């Protein structure tokens, strides 16, 4: 999902980043208080599935045990925070600190989403 990156280039970095953080918080609350499996799946889609799987599709089962495929690049919140967060780091670090900051940001994102 590349739209949040394009949006952050056009309107600024903080709006897409803030929207992403709010959506992540909202999807976390949906996880905590979900009354059904459908709400859990919707919360997962809102949060974003791109950081948690190495396969091409995320598989869920509906109430009739039919496989439901969801593309692994679905999700708005993760895309907003990832794209605009990386752009914020890029905008604020120049020179020799730039590579170190980009590496640290990428490492932390990988570490957080893989554990």
Contacts of 46 (CB under 8 A, 6+ apart): 23, 26, 27, 30, 75, 76, 77
Residues 18-73: tens digit of each pLDDT: 988 898 899 889 988 989 888 888 888 888 755 444 444 444 445 555 555 555 55
Residues 62-106: tens digit of each pLDDT: 555 555 555 555 577 887 888 888 889 889 999 889 989 988 988
Q: CB atoms < 10 A from the CB of 33, how many?
A: 9
Rounded-to-integer distance, Cα 69 and Cα 14, Å: 32
* Domain segments of the chain as ranges: 7-109
Q: Which two tokens mark 28?
A: 């976390």
Rounded-to-integer distance, Cα 87 and Cα 90, Å: 5
């Amino acid at each position: 999902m590349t739209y949040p990156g394009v949006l952050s280039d056009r309107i600024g970095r903080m709006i897409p980043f803030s929207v992403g953080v709010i959506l992540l918080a909202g999807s976390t609350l949906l996880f905590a208080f979900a009354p059904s499996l459908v709400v859990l799946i919707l919360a997962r889609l809102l949060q974003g599935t791109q950081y948690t799987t190495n396969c091409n599709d995320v598989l869920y089962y509906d109430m009739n045990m039919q496989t439901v495929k969801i593309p692994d690049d679905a999700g708005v919140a993760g895309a907003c925070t990832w794209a605009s967060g990386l752009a914020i780091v890029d905008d604020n670090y120049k020179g020799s600190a730039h590579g170190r900051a980009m590496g640290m940001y990428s490492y932390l994102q990988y570490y957080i989403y893989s554990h």
